[in-house]
Chains A and B, each alone.
Chain A
């Protein structure tokens, strides 16, 4: 294939990866920024979103578009509810102590993964896309649904930015992020803010999964890659900085698409990891991180 179309395909594939990654990583970043919790189980919330979407596609009759719309609303809510429950039952009792929460979320990772294995099974199951459309370019064809994924992810991210910067909930979250004690002194119920943040973070991962599952199929082990890439993105962007997370997701997603198309996917992973190492050595707070 000629260079031009080759690059176009690489960029389009990269954008899909970047869009989904931006959603997943912003959830992780939010949880760390506000709660100072490194959520190792984040990838499993992603997986739960996909698995729940499969169940919805089985239970909701009618056209695939309807089932998909239901999944897009119900699955993130379900996963968010589960995350709020985990926050109340586990993280709160550990007083959000950083080392303890890392171990606790590792435990949560295994519980969620094995629960999915027991209840959903080891198979990879396809979820029908809401619509079947194919984009036929002169050089190659492409899934029209992938364009929708990019658009939908962009819309959700815009909504998230509005929520954080313009709404009262966003204000309270940001206040808690800046100084937990002062926020408490001003009458903010920090426990509720934490539960809401953890739920929102998990819900974002679940939205990303519902969007991607018509392309990738739901599988109980699918949470590993998004977790790793989200960590890479969050470290590069600066822990807790949403703007940094978005820029880094675009950078990593696009470079992953382009490098793995022109060279090897393994090389893309190597370079991303190398970038993390460089960032940690030369700019430990990340590209956009405020504090060290």
Chain B
């Protein structure tokens, strides 16, 4: 019983009003009906705006996970519905979407947003409305302690953990003088701050930091700022212009000498790595949240997940090899839905009155073993930080294929912090 909808607030609120009137008239019957009533989850989706490529795949992943959950009996025996609402990848609209889902659509909780500026703009509203808000966002803003008790990130690791885990690989294998190129907003600043720190801890040095506005469409003019003695070029880029970014980087270096290149797969999410002009990336390394191309040692859970979402061995849609997925990130939607299921079942979810109990149940998570619920791999949940910690993958582009060359352990990604959400009030 899935329902992919655009909300019809007036009709829905009318129905809700009607339902409330009926309930008042026949209270005993309602209590009995409640147990089989569907659980309604709100999904804050970047369907349009600069996050649209992610939105398309986050929706597809959510629907695939929903199908698996419902076929296995739903959550605590109740069927599950997801209501998708577009936030245009816009922080102000994001806060409105949270409000609309919570007060008009009356969903049980909200999940799904990715872009850090949208999450930072929307999470305060979720806190005010006291509705659980599970983000798939990667940024350090959750673990930093600047959000609230209602915002949780059980389905993907944060940037600080990612770069902490990977900096040793970069300095040991690629070089010690690093130039960073990153988008000029919260997500990019997390990279700038924590990677610089992590590289210094390894005896390396970040010799230049090049910030690029997230709406930029032309990049060549930034490249002359890359110092000539750069040994490793570290790039992470997002938005509709990522293909232009890597292409222009290739044109800039051309056949001349170039540094080692280490990129976050973000710079190539939803982009075919075999696109003309990207040949220069051959031999370069990538961080991937999950390996886009099917690896020989892939787990049963991963192949199950890949098939369920409809992704081929190259990371593209099975029906269209040109439609490349956001494979490095979209597992977070799947894993978050299963975390919601586990949290709701642990707290004996009845309805919105159990929202606080749900947050407390998620805070009680510790070990989150690998399996079909977590095809990306095992995770450990840190309740104080409201953040999951997990494995990271480094791949190398060899013969047009992204081949896994390193996997970090969960311990590699841990860092000291005195943030404690569990001590905050609801």
A residues apposed to B, CB below 8 Å: 1, 5-6, 9-10, 13, 17, 117, 121-124, 126, 128, 132, 134, 136, 139-143, 215-217, 219, 221-222, 225, 257, 260-261, 265-266
Contact = CB atoms under 8 A, between A and B. Distances in A.
Nearest to A144: B251
14 contacts: A5-B224, A122-B55, A123-B56, A123-B240, A123-B270, A132-B276, A134-B251, A134-B255, A140-B223, A140-B253, A141-B255, A219-B240, A260-B221, A266-B213
A257 B217 contact: no
Given A132-B277, A141-B251, A122 B52 contact: yes
Interface in B258-284: 270, 275-277
A140 B243 contact: no
Interface of B: 47-49, 52-53, 55-56, 213, 216-218, 220-224, 228, 240-241, 243-244, 248, 251-256, 270, 275-277
B220 A217 contact: no
Contacts of B47: 122
A225 B217 contact: yes
A216 B241 contact: yes
B221 A140 contact: no
A1 B221 contact: no
Nearest to A145: B251
B117 to A, nearest CB: 16
Nearest to B272: A126
Nearest to B217: A216
Contacts of B275: 126
Contact of B244 (A13, A123, A217, A265): A217
Given A132-B277, A217-B243, A141 B216 contact: no
B276 A134 contact: no
A10 B216 CA distance: 16
B241 A9 contact: no
B224 A124 contact: no
Contacts of B216: 265
A6 B224 contact: yes
A124 B252 contact: no
B52 A140 contact: no
B133 to A, nearest CB: 24
Nearest to A259: B221
Nearest to A269: B213
A102 B210 CA distance: 39
Contacts of A6: 224
Top 3 nearest A-B pairs by Cβ distance? Answer: A141-B254, A124-B240, A122-B52
A134 B255 CA distance: 9
**Which of A126, A142, A260 has the most chain B CB atoms closer than 10 A to its own CB?**
A126
B138 to A, nearest CB: 21
Contact of B256 (A140, A216, A221): A140
Given A122-B48, A126-B243, A219-B240, A265 B221 contact: yes
Contacts of A217: 240-241, 243-244
Nearest to A266: B213
Contacts of A5: 224
Nearest to A268: B221
Contact of A141 (B221, B253, B276): B253
Contact of A9 (B55, B217, B220, B254): B220
Contacts of A128: 276
B254 A140 contact: yes
Given A140-B256, A215-B244, A10 B251 contact: no
**Which of A121, A122, A128 has the most chain B CB atoms closer than 10 A to its own CB?**
A122
Given A122-B48, A122-B52, A123-B52, A257 B221 contact: yes
A216 B239 CA distance: 12
B48 A143 contact: no
Given A9-B224, A128-B276, A257-B221, A136 B256 contact: yes
Contacts of B253: 140-141
A141 B277 CA distance: 12
Contacts of A126: 243, 275
A143 B224 contact: no
Contacts of B53: 123-124
Given A9-B220, A9-B221, A261-B221, A143 B243 contact: no
B213 A215 contact: no
A239 B220 CA distance: 32
**Which of B218, B221, B248, B256 has the most chain A CB atoms closer than 10 A to its own CB?**
B221
Contacts of A123: 52-53, 56, 240, 270
B251 A143 contact: yes
B254 A216 contact: no
Nearest to A7: B224
B185 to A, nearest CB: 13
A152 B53 CA distance: 32
A216 B218 contact: yes
A29 B52 CA distance: 34
B371 to A, nearest CB: 33
A260 B222 CA distance: 8
A140 B224 contact: yes
B276 to A, nearest CB: 6
B51 to A, nearest CB: 9
A5 B218 CA distance: 19
Contacts of A257: 221
A134 B221 contact: no
Given A13-B218, A216-B241, A134 B254 contact: yes
Given A122-B49, A123-B52, A217-B244, 8 more contacts: A10-B221, A122-B48, A124-B243, A141-B251, A142-B252, A217-B243, A221-B49, A265-B216
Nearest to A215: B244
Given A117-B48, A123-B240, A266-B213, A136 B255 contact: yes
**Which of A117, A143, A222 has the most chain B CB atoms closer than 10 A to its own CB?**
A143
**Which of B220, B248, B253, B256 has the most chain A CB atoms closer than 10 A to its own CB?**
B220
Nearest to B243: A126
Contacts of A225: 217
A220 to B, nearest CB: 8
**Which of B47, B216, B277 has the most chain A CB atoms closer than 10 A to its own CB?**
B277
Contacts of A261: 221-222, 224
A65 to B, nearest CB: 13
Contacts of A219: 240
Nearest to B211: A264
A96 B330 CA distance: 51
A111 to B, nearest CB: 16
